[in-house]
Amino acid sequence: MAHVLVVEDDQFVRSALIRHLTDASHTVRSVGTALEALREVSRRDFDVVILDLGLPDLDGGEALKMLRGVTDVPVIIATARDDEAGIVRLLNDGADDYLVKPFSVEHLAARMAAVLRRSRGVRGPGQDSALRVGGLVVDPLRRRAELDGRALDLTRREFDLLAFLAARPGVVVARRELLSEVWQQAYGDDQTIDVHLSWLRRKLGETAARPRYLHTLRGVGVKLEAPAPGHPA
């Protein structure tokens, strides 16, 4: 059971979503504009937001950025747009997942369950205390990360990716495992992982060409390990 905010201006789609989510024992509130959505998330706590992109007052992509300015509630994008570049941009802007219309109720339920598992901190054993890798400290319970004593401003997905790798220092993690465990998807596009790794590297003060913590092994996977002694900052 979750507290869900549906942001959808199409009354038919909106009513169908409310009916199916309510039948699944979720508590649902719904609005038809981006500004109403912002008011709702500032007044109430939600477990997940289902956000349509074609809103009458504001493009859903801009609405997503505004939502991320006031809350870290998981957001599932519902869109008729299926261009890869646009989807990658939305994920990079803070969306937790997306569904391309039309989608089935079962598909929505599965994506919601995956997003809720991640947001509620369902992780493997040994992740109930701060993880330390060199000067990097990741606290999965408090969802905080620091590098050399400086707090890192990470999106939800960036944090999940960093925490997953930090729990396995020095271990090469296959991309398929990252998709399964971090994105909760059986399959997907490697570009999604690459985009998040790129932004994470930037926040860690490194690049793919000059890595400090994040190391990509082409055709194998990714590992996180502390810089070797004497490695340049």
Domain locations in the chain as residue ranges: 3-119, 131-224
| Residue 218: Cβ within 10 Å count | 5
Distance of alpha carbon 175 from alpha carbon 182, whole angstroms: 10
Is 0.95 topped by the overall pTM? no
| CATH classification number, 3-119, choose in 3.30.930.10, 1.10.260.40, 3.40.50.2300, 3.50.50.60 | 3.40.50.2300
Residue for token pair 């990097």: 136
What's residue 35's pLDDT? Answer: 92
Distance of alpha carbon 36 from alpha carbon 81, whole angstroms: 23
CATH number corresponding to 131-224:
1.10.10.10
Determine the length of the chain. 233
Omega before 227 within 30 of 0, i.e. cis: no
- Going by the DSSP 8-state scheme, the letter that residue 54 receives in this structure is B
Distance of alpha carbon 81 from alpha carbon 101, whole angstroms: 8
CB distance 173 to 221 below 8 Å: yes
Average pLDDT for runs of 10 along the chain of length 233 = 89 90 89 92 88 88 85 86 80 85 84 78 50 89 87 88 90 87 72 88 93 89 84 54
CB distance 85 to 61 below 8 Å: no
Q: Which of 51, 138, 58, 42 is nearest to 98 (CA)?
A: 51
Distance of alpha carbon 76 from alpha carbon 6, whole angstroms: 10
What's residue 125's pLDDT? Answer: 44
Number of helical H runs and strand E runs in the chain = 8, 11
